[in-house]
Amino acid sequence: MIDYQGQNYQDVIGQQGLVVVQYFATWCGPCKMLKPVLESLSTELNDVKFYRVDIDLFRNQAIEAGIRSVPTVVLYKDGEEVDRQSGYQPKERVQSWMNQFR
């Protein structure tokens, strides 16, 4: 799982294949609960790229993505948003959701 550091955002979300982006805040409890779920999946799903975007540090990216609450996980496939979910979800549910788009 890669922490977004301000590189060209289109280079991140515009990659081929499935890209998972967690929009989070350091003060958000459910974000902290979701982090190990996504980290675990990032080691298991080698064909999927995982990123985290801190909405307080990278406000413009959060606004551009239409983030209204955290945590929000957005799935991008071949550069296009295909789905999003907000709030904490257990690992099995997150993996099942992602597998629909792989």
* Catalytic residue selected from 12, 31, 73, 94: 31
Instruction: Identify whether 31 is a catalytic site residue.
Output: yes
Tell me the β-bridge partners of 75: 20, 83
Q: Is the dihedral of CA 40, 43, 44, 46 positive or negative?
A: positive
* Catalytic residue selected from 12, 13, 25, 28: 28
Instruction: Identify whether 60 is a catalytic site residue.
Output: no
| Catalytically annotated residues | 28, 31
